Amino acid sequence: MKPSEFAHIVDVALLPSAIKADQLAGQTVVVVDVLRATTTIVNALHNGCQQIFPQPGIEEARDCHAKMPDTSVIGGERNGKIVDGFHQGNSPLEYTAEAISGKSLILATTNGTVAMESCRAADRVLIGAMINVSAVAKELTSVPRVTVVCSGTDRLITSEDVIFAGLLTERILELREQAGAEPTKLTDPATIAMHHWRTRKAEMDSGMELADFFRNCRGGINLVRIGHDADVQFASQIDLHDRVPELDLKSWSIA
Ligand SMILES: O=C(O)[C@H](CS(=O)(=O)O)OP(=O)(O)O
């Protein structure tokens, strides 16, 4: 079958810079930044955050916060550390119900919230992480065109995002097979991502923890070095939550 004859295609952009002009038109996109922006977003919403306004930079975040100073928390990082004057950093563990329930979050991170800017041409943008991967797959079971956009770390590919893309692809294929759907076309990066995940899965079957692998990925090395090992451990949990956040492309807010 030619790619155009498939009813369903799953693609993966291993970095935002791999997205070609107009590639995302007509697509449902899943943005992932396992360490840590999308894990933080999923956890904050799970803990009662009202909505999240992702920002491409620190100044944009400050301007946004100035418009809603009493009802919002401003969070994010540079070089993994809380920004001067911000309330919180980019640790999913900071966004407890006590800290965020009932409030809006304005979030500026180095990779994840910037990657979202690359997705403006998509039809829909969902937010994925290991902690909600199966819920995202369920949402995509009957969606014809899916692209997973990996945020990477400092413009370079990082394995934890690729592993998420591979696991999500595998879960979508399983759900579609169970539903008796027609065959799904995987692009080359989607196939590479799924193989990467399956290698990890085999290691996990032999006793290795996913968090141990993440500690040695580009994003994980940075975080462990600056004392955020607990975040790496948290972000490696599969299916902790079943919430699927979506970025509203008009209001540029996630709920
Ligand atoms: O703080 C994070 O998790 C990262 C920055 S760094 O790579 O660890 O310095 O930001 P994110 O946008 O969540 O990748």
Q: Ligand 1 centroid vs 66 CA: distance in angstroms?
A: 24
**How many secondary structure helices (H) and strands (E) does the chain include?**
10, 11
Ligand 1 atom at minimum distance from 109 CA: 12
Residues with CB under 6 A from ligand 1: 33, 35-37, 77, 79-80, 90, 109-112, 151, 153, 219, 222-223
| Beta-bridge partners for 126 | 30, 246
Q: Ligand 1 centroid vs 219 CA: distance in angstroms?
A: 7
For the chain of 255 residues, list the mean pLDDT of each consecutive stretch of 10.
79 97 94 98 98 98 98 98 98 98 98 98 98 98 97 97 98 96 95 98 97 96 97 98 98 98
Say yes or no: ipTM exceeds 0.90.
yes
- Please give the Cα distance from 218 to 158 (Å, whole number): 5
Domain membership of residue 76 (yes or no) is yes
Domain membership of residue 254 (yes or no) is no
**What is the per-residue pLDDT for 4?**
66
**What is the per-residue pLDDT for 167?**
98
Structure-token pair, residue 252? 């540029």
Ligand 1 atom at minimum distance from 153 CA: 7
Domain membership of residue 255 (yes or no) is no
Domain membership of residue 102 (yes or no) is yes
- Exposure class string for 167-185: b at 16+ Cβ within 10 A, else e: bbbbbbbebbeeeeeeebb
Structure-token pair, residue 58? 């620190």
Domain membership of residue 250 (yes or no) is no
- Please give the Cα distance from 168 to 233 (Å, whole number): 19
Ligand 1 atom at minimum distance from 218 CA: 7
Residue of minimum CA distance from atom 5 in ligand 1 = 80
pTM over 0.90: yes
Question: Which residues make Cβ contacts (< 8 Å) with residue 19, sequence separation at least 6?
Answer: 13, 118, 147, 149
Indicate the top mutation candidate among 52, 153, 159, 236 to test ligand 1's pocket, ranked by most ligand atoms within 8 A of CB: 153
Q: Ligand 1 centroid vs 114 CA: distance in angstroms?
A: 11
Ligand 1 atom at minimum distance from 115 CA: 12
**What is the per-residue pLDDT for 22?**
87
What string of H, E and C letters represents the secondary structure of 152-209? CECCECCHHHHHHHHHHHHHHHHHHHHCCCCCEEECHHHHHHHHHHHHHHHHHHCCCC
**What is the per-residue pLDDT for 3?**
65
**What is the per-residue pLDDT for 7?**
82
Q: Ligand 1 centroid vs 80 CA: distance in angstroms?
A: 5
Domain membership of residue 55 (yes or no) is yes
**CA contacts within 13 A on the Cβ side of 169:** 29
Tell me the residue range of the domain where 100 lies: 3-242
| Beta-bridge partners for 19 | none
Q: Which of 111, 89, 108 lies closest to 100 in space, CA to CA?
A: 89
Question: Which residues make Cβ contacts (< 8 Å) with residue 87, sequence separation at least 6?
Answer: 73, 74, 75
Q: At 211, which CATH number?
A: 3.90.1560.10
Structure-token pair, residue 155? 């413009």
Indicate the top mutation candidate among 222, 225, 232, 233 to test ligand 1's pocket, ranked by most ligand atoms within 8 A of CB: 222
**What is the per-residue pLDDT for 6?**
80
Structure-token pair, residue 77? 């990082």
Question: Which residues make Cβ contacts (< 8 Å) with residue 122, sequence separation at least 6?
Answer: 24, 25, 27, 28, 29, 147, 249
Tally of domains in the chain: 1
- Please give the Cα distance from 134 to 241 (Å, whole number): 9
Domain membership of residue 98 (yes or no) is yes
